[in-house]
Each structure stands twice: as structure tokens, then as C-alpha cells.
Amino acid sequence: MNDTPLITIVIPSYNSAGYIEDTLHSLAAQTISNFEVIVIDDHSTDNTLEVAGRAHQALGLKGQVMLRPAELPKGVASCRNLGVKMANGEWVSFLDSDDLFLPEKISGTAELIKKYGDSCFAYFHGSRQFEDGTNKTLRVRDIKTYDEPQNIFDQLTRENFITTSSVTLKRSLINEIGGFDITLHGIEDYMLWLRISKRSPWYYSAELWTDYRVRTSSLMGGRKLEYYVTQNTNLLKSVRNLKEFTAHDTNAIEYYLFDDVMQYYAMVSLKTGGWKDFLKGLGALRKVGKANLAKKLFKKHFKFLVFKKISYFKTKKINIEL
């Protein structure tokens, strides 16, 4: 009797015609076949739906490819939630439409579930970030395999270190929570990980079972500082409205979202959007009650700009004198 759990792989897609076929090929190459693949297309403006449907059928994959019903909200969270609703598997693995699973992903995850599945409903594993077009490895996160499932909530309030395309969750637990928060965009995964962590330990394997593609045209690229202020503020509002989070939890999450990662977003904002985008983002911070943080970020980067210009003119003067 086959006791391997059925795993449903949920793939939200949007304008991924150039990648989705490779993604599905990586699933057809799995070392076991006890899984199904559900692709939910978010009304792509290219032919992603057609390419995905053709490849899904040609590769003989179980599951289905479908267009998000028009009455459902747009967005990756909504598509993933629909995929979970359509799932036949007790367990759900998430995969982005431009990422790849290595051949041992499903078999390896199934073995972990068979070992810990009665006490652990959340799994993630190592992944390799690679550059689109060159296949150059950009990053491999160095975390040791857990000896046993762990409570990682406190760690998550300091860093969102979970790659969505490495996650497998018990479907009933996702449904209990209500799935991904569709009011959040780009940070909905972090919110779900936090809520999962309040209900189950996680097991982490350092096995590299996912290749995570980094491309400049991805949904996560080119967003403005104001956008992150809005999303982080919305997540914090959701946290404050949920009884499962204590005041201590909320304070820790707030510190991470603003005093920590906002430093990074501010730096990226200046680099990609310039001072106009940066100042607009600082204005958004003031509006949500973060005037002190806005002042701190302005002083930090203004001082850096002045120092940079002084250094430039000093160097230029030396060159002229020489």
C-alpha cells in the first residue's frame, strides 16, 4: 500500500509565458509521481495561460490549469487561495511560476511528512537564488538542517527568511487560518508564516530543492518606498486585529517592519527611484505616525550624500593639482 501523501503544488502565474514551461518541466522530472499541479493564471496579458495549459497536458501532469474567475480579487494571494481550495492533496507546496523544483523535492518532502507529519504541519528547505539569463548563483542561504521541528516565531519577527517556493503546509491548517491575506501584496506570505508559527512548529531541511529565479521584471522589482510603507502598515494593522498575537509579538513585528527592513527599502528607493521617490516615501511614513523614523532616515542619507559630494570634490581637486 502506498503511504506517500498526495501533495498539491499550487502555482500562481502572471505574464510568465517565457518561464512557466520550464517550471512545469521541473515538476515532470520529479522522482515520484504522487502529486498534482494546479496553475491559477491571474489574467496574464501574454499567452501564459495557453503555454501553461499546453505544457501541463503534454507532460502528463495531474491537476489543472485555469484562469482566475473574474469575481475573485486579483493578486497572487487570491490565486494561491483558490489553488488551495481546488487541492485534492492533504499537503500543499507553493511554487512561483518562474521558479524550479529539483527532482528530489516532492519525494524528499514526502519523507519528512511521513516522519514528522503528526506533530509538524509546516516545512521549508534550502534554495538557490540564480540570475535569470545567466544561471549564475547569487545566494545560497546557510542554515543547518533542524534536528527536529522548531518553534520559529521569534526568529520570524527578526527576519523573514522563508522562501515561498520552498514551503509545504498542511492544507487543513491553511484553511483554518483562512489562507493568504488578500489585502496584502508582496508581504502576504510573511503574514501567513507568522500565523502558521502560532499553530505549528516548522521543520527545515538544508537540502537545496528549489531554484529561485531573480529577474528584474519580476513582480517584486521596481516598487516604490511608499508602497512598502503602505504594505507594512497594513500588515501591522492585521496583526493588531488578531487575538493570537500578544502585545510583545506586535511590538517585535513592528520593529522589524519599520526600524529594520525600512532601512533597506530606503536605500533601494534612493538607488532606483532617486530623491523624489525617497522623499515621497518619507512623507508616507509621517502619515502613518512614523515621523521620527522618517527624520532618522533623512538625516542618515542626507549626511551620506553630503559626504559623498565632499569626497568627490576633494578627489577632483587633487586630480586638478596633479
Task: Look at residue 110 in the predicted model and tell me its pLDDT.
Answer: 98
**How far apart, in whole angstroms, are the C-alpha atoms of residue 152 and residue 201?**
7
Task: Look at residue 44 in the predicted model and tell me its pLDDT.
Answer: 98
**How far apart, in whole angstroms, are the C-alpha atoms of residue 230 and residue 112?**
38
Specify whether the CB–CB gap between 68 and 42 falls below 8 A.
Answer: yes
Q: What is the dihedral of CA 186, 188, 189, 194, to 10 degrees?
A: 140
Q: Residue 274: left (phi > 0), alpha (psi -120 to 50), or beta?
A: left
pLDDT in tens, 20-40: 999 999 999 999 999 999 999
In 3D space, the residue among 129, 97, 94, 91 whose CA is nearest the CA of residue 110 turns out to be 91
Q: Tell me the mean pLDDT in the region 280-309.
A: 85
Q: Tell me the mean pLDDT in the region 156-184.
A: 97
Q: Which triple of cell numbers denotes residue 169?
A: 503546509
Q: Which triple of cell numbers denotes residue 297?
A: 532616515
* 8-state DSSP, 260: I
Task: Look at residue 177 in the predicted model and tell me its pLDDT.
Answer: 98
> Taking 90 as the threshold, does the pLDDT of residue 150 lie above it?
yes
H and E: helices and strands count for the chain? 12, 9
Cα–Cα distances in angstroms (integers) from residue 38 to residues 141, 154, 158, in the given order: 28, 33, 33
Residue span(s) of the chain under CATH 3.90.550.10 come to 7-214
How far does Cα 322 stand from its chain's mean position?
52
Q: Tell me the mean pLDDT in the region 289-307.
A: 83
Q: Tell me the mean pLDDT in the region 87-94.
A: 98
Overall pTM > 0.85: yes
* More confident: 273 or 152: 152
Q: Which residue has the cell 531541511?
A: 205
Q: How confident is the model at residue 128 (pLDDT cuts 50, 70, 90)?
A: very high
Domain at 7-214, CATH from 2.60.40.10, 3.90.550.10, 3.40.190.10, 1.10.3720.10: 3.90.550.10
Cα–Cα distances in angstroms (integers) from residue 121 to residues 5, 164, 254, 295, 321, in the given order: 13, 15, 26, 43, 69
Mean pLDDT of the chain: 92
pLDDT in tens, 173-223: 999 999 999 999 999 999 999 999 999 999 999 999 999 999 865 444 568
Q: Which triple of cell numbers denotes residue 95?
A: 511554487
**How far apart, in whole angstroms, are the C-alpha atoms of residue 124 and residue 40?**
22
Q: Strand pairing of 137-140 and 7-13?
A: unpaired
Distance from the first to the final alpha carbon of the chain? 83
* More confident: 22 or 273: 22
Specify whether the CB–CB gap between 10 and 96 falls below 8 A.
Answer: no
Q: Where are the alpha helices (DSSP H) in the chain?
A: 20-28, 48-58, 76-86, 105-116, 153-156, 171-177, 188-197, 225-240, 247-254, 261-272, 274-287, 291-321
Residues 129-154 as b/e (b if ≥16 CB within 10 A, e otherwise) read: bbeeeeeeeeeeeeeeebeebeebbe
Task: Look at residue 303 in the predicted model and tell me its pLDDT.
Answer: 65
